[in-house]
Amino acid sequence: MDGQPDRETITLSPELTARARDAVARGEAASVAEYVEMATLDFDAGDLDSLSEEQVAFLHREIDIGLASGPAEPFDPEAFLGELRAKNGG
């Protein structure tokens, strides 16, 4: 490596984007990229004790939504791509 940061493009949900922008507005991070980097480092460090009650509640809600959605269904990637192609005329 030459010391330059790698550039990646990621997609955040609207809620995560808003949270990152709010953190920047509060001065907790210099940019959304820095916020994501800090969150990643916290996650890698296993620093879950630093989560706020709001963050823990959010995680619990998301887990509940996932569990309520039922068991995963088999996924056929070829059929999925075929449906997309048919839908988009490709």
Each of the 90 residues of the chain gets a pLDDT tens digit; together they read 466 777 778 888 889 899 999 999 999 999 998 898 888 887 776 666 777 888 888 888 988 888 888 888 888 899 999 999 999 886
Rounded to the nearest 10 degrees, the angle between the axes of helix 14-25 and helix 32-44 is: 110
pLDDT value of position 47? 60
pLDDT value of position 22? 93
51: helix, strand or coil: coil
